[in-house]
Structure formats: C-alpha cells, structure tokens
Amino acid sequence: MKVYTSKPSLIEIRKEFPVLHQQINNNPLVYFDNAATTQKPKSVISAIVNYYENYNANIHRGVHTLAEKATIAFELTRKTIGEFLNSRETEEIIFTRGTTEAINLVATSLGNGIIKSGDEIIVSTLEHHSNFVPWQQLAEKTGAILKIIPIHEDGSLNMEAYFSLLSEKTKLVAVNHVSNALGTINPIKKIIEAAKNQGALILIDGAQASSHIEIDVQELNCDFYAISAHKMYGPTGIGALYGKREILESMPPYQFGGEMIRNVSFEKTTFNDIPYKFEAGTPHIEGVIAWKSALDFVSKIGKKEIMEHEHELTEYAIGQWQDLKGIKMFGPKENRVSVVSFVFENIHSFDIGQMLDARGIAVRTGHHCTEPLMSVLGVDGTVRASFAVYNTREEIDTMTKGLERIINFFK
C-alpha cells in the first residue's frame, strides 16, 4: 500500500476495499457511515481466511504446531497494539470484545471495593452510552455521585465547568477523546492533567480517535485507554483496553474461567498475571490476528495523511451543505474529526436517511447512542455523515445532489 499523495493513490486505496465496488438500489455505493464501522481492506479479510484455512487452533495452552503458530500471531497483535498506543509494556494491553467491554471491565472491577459511597465520578455530556451507562450504574451500585461536564453551544466541552467539578472526592474521570455524534476532539491532555492533580483515575474512550489521531498513552499519562478494531478498518467484535500495570494489578478480575486462572483447587483459586487475568475464555482469535493487518494498513498510509485527507473532505462537505435551505449543523468549527451531523427543518432525519439510501448513500440517523447529548441539543436525532480514507469529493457531490432533491421533495 502506497502513501497517497494524488488522485491515483486514492484510487489504489479504494481498490483495497471490495465492499465499496457495488450497486445499492441501482446506484454506486457511497459509504458515509464510518463512525459506526469502517470497511475492511483485503489484507484484513485475507488474514481471517488464512487463519481458518491454515492454522485454526486454540491459543496459549496447546503444544502442537498449529496452536503455537496461532499463539504467536495472536500475541504479535498485542505487541503491535502496544506500539500503536506506545504503552510501556505489552502486558498492559488487554483484549476485549470492543471499547464497550473495555469500559465495562474497568467499571465492574472498580465497583468491587475501589469506588465507594460518596466518591465522585465525572463524565461529559458528549459521551456515548457505553461511556455513560456503566458509570451511572456504578454510581447507583456504590452510592458514588455522578457529575456531568456541560458543553458550549458549539459542541465543545466547557472546561471551566469541568475544573469546578473536580474535588478531593473525585475518584474517576471518564471522557471520550472524540465525540462520535459531533466529531469534537476533546482537550484530553488538559482533562487528564487536571484529574491527576486531584489524584483521580482517568479513562479515555478512544473508539472514534484511534484511526484519526496519534495516540501516546505515556505522554497523555492516562490510566486507561479503550479502542475497537472495527473503527479502524479491522474486524468487529474485538477491542483492547490499555491500563497502567500497577493499576491493572490492583484491580480484581472482571470474569472468571479458562486462561485467567493460574491454579484451581476445591478450596481456592489463584488468578493469572496481566494481561491474562482479564481474558477469561477462548478469545476472538481470528479477529485479534486480523487486527494487526488493519493496524499495518493505517501505519502504511500514515495517520497524518489520513487525518489531512479526512479534514479536507469534512471542510468540503460543510462548505457544500451549510447553505442548504433549512439545515442546522452541529459541532465545533475547529478541533473536529470527519463527522458532520445535521438536521433539516420539518424533515425527519429517518426520512432523510431512507431517501439517501434509495440513492445508494449510507449515512447514520438517530441519536447515535448519545441520547443525553441529543436532549441538550434539543433534537431527537441527527443525520450523521462520517468520512474515511477511501471517501472522495465526488461522493460528497453525490450526497449534495441527494439532499437538494430531498429538500425539493418536501417543499
């Protein structure tokens, strides 16, 4: 895969994604639902097929050749993710089913005696349900107090309000790096530093940031960082939690069963070391192995190049759509990734989504698992177009024509 610097290179990138080359309702597919899940390059698909065709076996415990080959490939992905996030140690990478399970792992474990009644947990208005509900449930279970960082009108976090929420009672701050609904890039370095000054733990939901932004967990000094493969051109159903060794070692296990056990007797069970202590049961082996191919794909192109391409598309789309009759757009003008959310006056977002689909254009409609945020914005949902490395200006032009036809239809 070449680093793209011109139109032909973008064409080469698109060739790597088989799903893009099809007709939807007799129109070429325009896939603008990348914030929900990105499409998969041939290298990822081939890695999955190769595993099942050539060395399908369970990992870690087997001594036969196939088991050893699978184990090596599985652990190589863990090492690659550690490098991708710049963790201090490979063992600080825990495999999960995705960002949601990674956050639930931390919430459940902290709920076993670490977070107590009267402690305070801070989340933001911008959170996906997956980084809100676990903390809401933890607060209800333990008697902790949940506090919410408000937002400004443009969809950016009110940092002054955040600073005022922090106190010696703050035990955890959990915020996303990037808003899945608005594309807002949060100032997590400042958020982390302020939390650390109060001695609080800090978790970053990196699901939307991982394929766009360079992530260095050591520089950030976060305690936890959660990501999902399927947001970064990898398989669904697999993710990872980064956690500092000393914190992970102090936390009780999340689930119990095979692999996370060191010794079992009728009287007592002792648990394995990290990362295996948090990886009960047979994992999503082929997903983990294929994830490395996705990481390699992103690295070969370069996050800087991906971000620049997506930023150009986002600016172009906003420029094309901002003057459409009846449109209201959400999200900050700066410090955002390639997500554009909007509504139209007197046209329901679901209708827009269906009518765009009739033209082969895939967007996301609804509350995007951010119902509290939608309530603050005063809408029941938005239309969300989100761009990836393989999208083009021409596709945005196609959507612009589609939106114009929808507006005329509802006149």
Catalytic residues: 369
Q: Are 100 and 254 in contact (CB under 8 A)?
A: no
Of 378, 376, 382, 325, the closest CA to residue 352 belongs to 382
Identity at 1, one-letter amino acid code: M
Beta bridge partners of residue 347, listed in sequence order: 344
Tokens of residue 254, six digits: 């999340």
- Cα–Cα distance measured from residue 343 to residue 349, given in angstroms and rounded to the nearest whole number: 6
Nearest by Cα to 400 from 282, 283, 315, 319 = 319
* Count of C-beta atoms within a 10 Å radius of residue 408: 9
Q: Degrees (nearest 5) of the Cα angle 165, 168, 169?
A: 75
SS3 94: strand
Taking the C-alpha atoms of residue 29 and residue 193, their distance in angstroms, rounded to an integer, is 44
Asked whether the beta carbons of 79 and 92 are under 8 A apart, the reply is no
In contact, 176 and 183? CB cutoff 8 Å: no
Torsion (CA) 398, 404, 405, 407 in degrees, nearest 10 = 150
- Strands 120-124 and 145-149, by their bridges, are parallel
Q: Around Cβ 409, how many Cβ atoms within 10 Å? A: 10
> Alpha-carbon dihedral of residues 228, 231, 232, 236, nearest 10 degrees?
70
Sign of CA dihedral 269, 272, 273, 274: negative
What 8-state DSSP symbol labels residue 184? B
DSSP readout, 336-349?
B-SEEEEEETTB-H
Residue 216 to residues 103, 191, 230, 297: CA-CA distances in angstroms? Answer: 19, 15, 20, 19
- Find where tokens 């999200």 sit: 331
